[in-house]
Amino acid sequence: MSSQVPTSSRTIAEQIASYAETKPNQPAVTCAGETASWAELSAGAAQMAAHFLEAGAVHGDYVTIALPNSVAFVQAALAAWWIGATPVPISSKLPAAERTAIIALAESAVLVTDLEDAAGGGAAVLSLTDLRSDSGRSRARQPAPAPDPVPSPAWKAVGSGGSTGRPKLIVGVQDAAAEAITPIAELLRVPVDSTLLVPGPLSHNAPFIATTFGLLRGNHVVLMPRFDASECLALAELHRVRWMYQVPTMMLRIWRLGEAERTGRDLSSVETVFHMAAPCPPWLKQEWIGWLGAETLMELYAGTEMQGMTVVRGDDWLTHPGTVGQVQLGEMEIRDEDGKPLPPGEIGEIWMRRGADEPIPYRYLGATARSAGENWESLGDNGHFDADGYLFLADRSADMIIVGGSNVYPAEIEAALDEHPAVRSSCVIGLPNEDLGNVPHALVDLLGEASDDELLAWVRQRIAPYKVPKSIERVDQPLRDDAGKVRRSQLRAARLTAPSGG
């Protein structure tokens, strides 16, 4: 049975609920051996929505979701849209301090979590035990509501460690109307009434939107509780997956499985592999093109803010090796340090906007955009366009480190290190890593004795696991000048060119 294309009269929740009517018993979401049909997905979301309302959440509120990838995670996000609220997906592994800071930043009405004794930071804490009995029936004292016909005023709010070392939220200000956000799904070649595989964490923007887009277009979305290269291929084969999300770290781990395991899986159903979140090594992309075909490989460059976006298909990439594509959404311009536009071939800072008269598609909570008037904004990336309008990225002008597709800001790690009583100052840089692309490397100037294990244990209590430095280096000279400035690019260059690598 063919699904209806979303219409302007439907919210996200109403669109999902419509599938519960038209194909109730077909699979909607699968994760870790659990599959929810469209009827079960919709009923579970309605039950959660009743709990949210009972806890005091109202239209326009934020609902923070701290769950691992699961059917319940998807139901919680849907339940937020169900009552006209905005979901705030965060990692369930965040330290309590970071989780509480994000909740406070959003002034969330509800925290949904499976963590024991989780502090809500002002939000009402709802555990999965509270939300679902063993039989899946609601324990709420009021009946499950129908979806609010007025869409949420912002359809998502994604957390990010800010360049200041403090959390920030990037709020997608398009309302949660199905038609408002599905045009981007078409750019991403998301199919209709098929199957998607999303192996990334839903607490991150790209997996979250891929899952949302997939469901809105009536697809069965297969999630992974955590990425495993062999299991990823097994799921793609088992479910006859048509569209698959990847980041270069995943692609590398799959490639390292070896030819026998890769070719031993039937991936003939896969029509699109969309990779994003970090630059892909050209050799690895070339290998995947040779394996699955040039028309299958797709790449996207954009920020969570989505001021603009480029897309490139593998066959275009082969004629412009290294490109991230042509602009498909919004406008982009390369400028020099004085803000003057640069001609093709010259590297400068990438500036983006939806259009001179188009509204900015997001807002920050806890941060301020780098802007230049007329809606132009920069994420701090550098690059150049060629004569054909293909964008090529260069090193970032900002200090952000991309670790396996996740954005890591040195200031956040440094803030955690500097809290240790033995640390005088610290500096964190990114060093190349074959598996993750880059990993944090910490330089520390110590006042007293502290082992690497002690410092790392200290940091793990304060920041998420993927942000913890992979190595520590001691220095005996000040890392910052009298103005508190540090030249990370010079420190990194010195370590990249040192004969020993240290």
DSSP 327: E
What rounded mean pLDDT belongs to the chain?
Answer: 90
Tell me what the mean pLDDT of segment 103-125 comes to: 89
Q: What is the reported pLDDT for 414?
A: 87
Q: What is the pLDDT of residue 140?
A: 60
Determine contact, residues 320/388, Cβ cutoff 8 Å: yes
Using 50, 70 and 90 to split pLDDT, how confident is the model at 160? confident
What are the backbone dihedrals phi and psi of residue 481, each rounded to the nearest 5 degrees, phi first?
-85, -175
Examine the pLDDT at 483 and tell me if it is beyond 70. no
Confidence at 134, pLDDT banded by 50, 70, 90: very low
In three-state secondary structure terms, 212 is helix
pLDDT for residue 293 = 97
The model's pTM is 0.85
Question: Is the pLDDT score of 482 beyond 60?
Answer: no
Q: What is the pLDDT of residues 78-100, one digit of tens each?
A: 999 999 999 999 999 888 888 99
Tell me the DSSP string of 450-488: --HHHHHHHHHTTS-GGGS-SEEEE-SS-SS-TTS---H
How many other CB atoms sit within 10 Å of the CB of residue 256?
Answer: 12
| Per-residue pLDDT, 4 | 55
Domains of the chain: 12-278 (3.40.50.12780), 284-393 (2.30.38.10), 401-497 (3.30.300.30)
* CB contact at 8 A, 218 and 3: yes
For residue 249, pLDDT beyond 90: no
* Helix spans in 24-133 (H): 38-54, 71-82, 96-106, 128-131
Cα-Cα-Cα-Cα dihedral of 334, 339, 343, 344, to 10°? Answer: -20
Q: Is the pLDDT of residue 273 over 60?
A: yes
Output DSSP code: residue 62. E
Neighbours of 196 (CB within 10 A): 25
Task: Pick the more confident residue, 293 or 97.
Answer: 293
C-alpha distances out from residue 194 to 270, 299, 328, 442, 463, Å: 11, 21, 24, 45, 38
Beta bridge partner(s), residue 429: 441
Please enumerate in sequence order all residues whose Cβ is within 8 A of that of 39, keeping only pairs 6 or more positions apart, or say none. 20, 24, 25
Q: How distant is the alpha carbon of residue 3 from its chain centre?
A: 27
The rounded percent of the chain whose pLDDT value lies above 90 is: 72
Give pLDDT, residue 95: 87
Does the pLDDT value for residue 236 go beyond 90?
yes
Residue-level pLDDT at 5: 53
CB 66 within 8 A of CB 118: yes
User: What's the rounded Cα separation, in Å, for the pair 400 and 414?
Assistant: 13
Q: Of the given ranges (257-266, 467-476, 488-497), which has the lowest mean pLDDT? A: 488-497
Closest to 221 in 3D by CA, of 22, 40, 30, 2: 30
pLDDT higher than 80, residue 484: no
Distance of CA 36 to the CA centre of its chain: 24
Report d(CA 368, CA 169) in Å as an integer: 11
pLDDT at 135 over 50: no
Residue 89, Cα to own-chain centre: how many angstroms? 10
d(CA 12, CA 301): 25
Q: By the 8 A CB rule, do 278 and 248 touch?
A: yes
The structure tokens listed for 73 are 């995670």
Measured distance between the N- and C-terminal CA atoms of the chain, rounded to whole angstroms: 61
Q: How far apart are CA 466 and CA 432, in angstroms?
A: 15
- Whether 328 shows a pLDDT value over 70: the answer reads yes
Find, among 78, 75, 76, the residue nearest to 65 by Cα.
Answer: 76
Helices within 239-362 (DSSP H only) = 248-255, 259-263, 282-292, 314-319
Please tell me which residue, 384 or 5, carries the higher pLDDT value: 384
Least confident of 206-215, 226-235, 243-252, 323-332: 243-252
pLDDT digits (tens, 9 = 90+) for 330-377: 999 999 999 999 999 999 999 999 999 999 999 999 999 999 999 999
* 1 compared with 211, residue with greater pLDDT: 211
- What residues form DSSP beta bridges with 243? 196, 272
pLDDT value of residue 177: 94
pLDDT surpassing 90 at residue 167: no
Mean local confidence (pLDDT), 16-30: 98
Listed range (117-131, 271-285, 334-348) with the worst mean pLDDT = 117-131
**Can you say how many angstroms the Cα of residue 492 is from the centroid of all Cα atoms in its chain?**
26
